[in-house]
Structure 1
């Protein structure tokens, strides 16, 4: 089985994909549209994408891609994000002057940089990619922030473990397949969908009352601008199912108030793991 991810081997997406598909061959892609392109063109059977971090928020680009591609969410998982300071073997913390990583990872390790004012935080496109570059350059005055998997994959040495500011750091990942290939779980208890409403008073309230009227628990709502239509928005929501039948009723009622409704996936909610 082949599974696409965005990012370098050793990234958190790679780790999440390995947890779900331990025997799969991973196809790393530089950009998110390439991930969805590989899936749509049947180069891979599935993709594993981050959709939300408990500290940094949503990966909005992925919501937009889910809306516009003929794919659907099959399942979700949670990954505890642990940031580690990784260097070239035989280096040491005292000689480090620059630390490379993705901007979000750097922002989640502010206390480390406050405790080491001589070290400069340098943004890089990918956590695992920063380790890859570090090992290729053999720069003993630099380090990277990434996962344990990245250190193992590229042969880096971990100088400090768990340097993230907040231990309540989790990323939610979706397994995405071509819509016709999705295998819906009989234990599905959660729905993700997108909808738009007409720009007139009360339409959003009427749409939200549908969820309340069906006894569903709305767990997330996010708005994104519609490209090419100023001041118009797509609303992305997650809600918990009280029953499969009520989920179908909610969708039918929602279509009465919305100009567009698309179910992005119906799946079993992920359980928190440490």
Structure 2
């Protein structure tokens, strides 16, 4: 399905994606995410689901719990950014919630430097934003010589500056946040790198897996027992079957953080792996069976259609 942004603040190239959730495309679909009106993630949601009922939450965990308890149909989770890497908390949330990844969207994020009308860059002493957004603008901020203050998201910082009339403060956020809170855009594309692509996962309670063959991406998470070369052996199971691994991420095993190797104590890890295949395909099934030979603790498995790359410009002035 092809979708275009209809909001003037969300002008960009077509968004192309296929949704594997059981929920049909309808105006009443409820999509939840961490944020509020004016956040970058809101732009992604409104483009991917233009007729949805947006249901922002204060925390990502709350968004996932809302879907898990059937109070919303889908949750959007930020998983990775091309400038700063993985969002580790999101990986932990995937493991702790019983939801399926049904869609993946890439968005070229354009961050703006915002301030009250009449304020210039030289007037700025403090910059508000989410820690991840601040990290994406680290070099640009160092050139300004300002202090940084963490808030839940850029829209929250914009609201603080507007309500408290903070003329010595700016915020890194979206062009829509500037419009909502009466701020000026001092600089578009304020992030250090362009393109600045963020990867989002869409989660639902269940997934509708078509029987016909299509290109899919599958995500698994597993733990491995002690022993030399066990991770290598696990990954060879995919190599032998020509299955392309697109992502490997390790996280400490919170349930069993340490393990003994000989006389030494070492960190114990779990591994998140994405590969390009459907679990309905024989090569993928055989790879997963071989993976079991190493007695891994395979926790979860997700399958969705292989993602497409999209670009969403947040403001035609940028």
Partners of 1:70 and 1:140 in 2: CA distance: 45
Matched, 1:28 2:56: yes
Alignment of 1:123-202 (within 5 A): 123-178=150-205, 180=206, 182-184=207-209, 187-202=214-229
Q: CA deviation at 1:155?
A: 3.2
Partners of 2:208 and 2:155 in 1: CA distance: 31
Find the counterpart in structure 2 of residue 241 from structure 1: 277
Q: 1:12 to 1:271 in 2, by over 3 A?
A: same
Unaligned runs of 5+ in 2: 1-28, 259-266, 312-318
Matched, 1:226 2:246: no
Structure that is richer in helix per residue: 1
Classify the secondary structure of the residue corresponding to 1:55. Answer: coil
Find the counterpart in structure 2 of residue 83 from structure 1: 111
For the Cα contact (< 8 Å) 1:85–1:145, is it kept in 2? yes
Classify the secondary structure of the residue corresponding to 2:37. Answer: coil
Q: CA RMSD in A?
A: 2.0
Q: Deviations over 1:92-114 (max 9, x none)?
A: 33432221112222222233334
Q: CA deviation at 1:263?
A: 4.3
Find the counterpart in structure 1 of residue 296 from structure 2: 259
Q: CA deviation at 1:57?
A: 1.2
Partners of 1:23 and 1:153 in 2: CA distance: 21
TM-score norm. by structure 2 comes to 0.79
Q: 1:77 to 1:54 in 2, by over 3 A?
A: same
Q: Deviations over 1:140-164 (max 9, x none)?
A: 2211001123223333221211111
Partners of 2:90 and 2:149 in 1: CA distance: 25
Alignment of 1:97-112 (within 5 A): 97-112=125-140
For the Cα contact (< 8 Å) 1:52–1:172, is it kept in 2? yes
Provide runs of 4+ in structure 1 moved above 4 Å. Answer: none
Tell me how many residue pairs correspond in the alignment: 271
Unaligned runs of 5+ in 1: none
For the Cα contact (< 8 Å) 2:77–2:200, is it kept in 1? yes
Q: 1:112 to 1:177 in 2, by over 3 A?
A: same
Match of 1:65 among 64, 89, 93: 93
Partners of 1:39 and 1:28 in 2: CA distance: 12
Classify the secondary structure of the residue corresponding to 1:259. Answer: coil
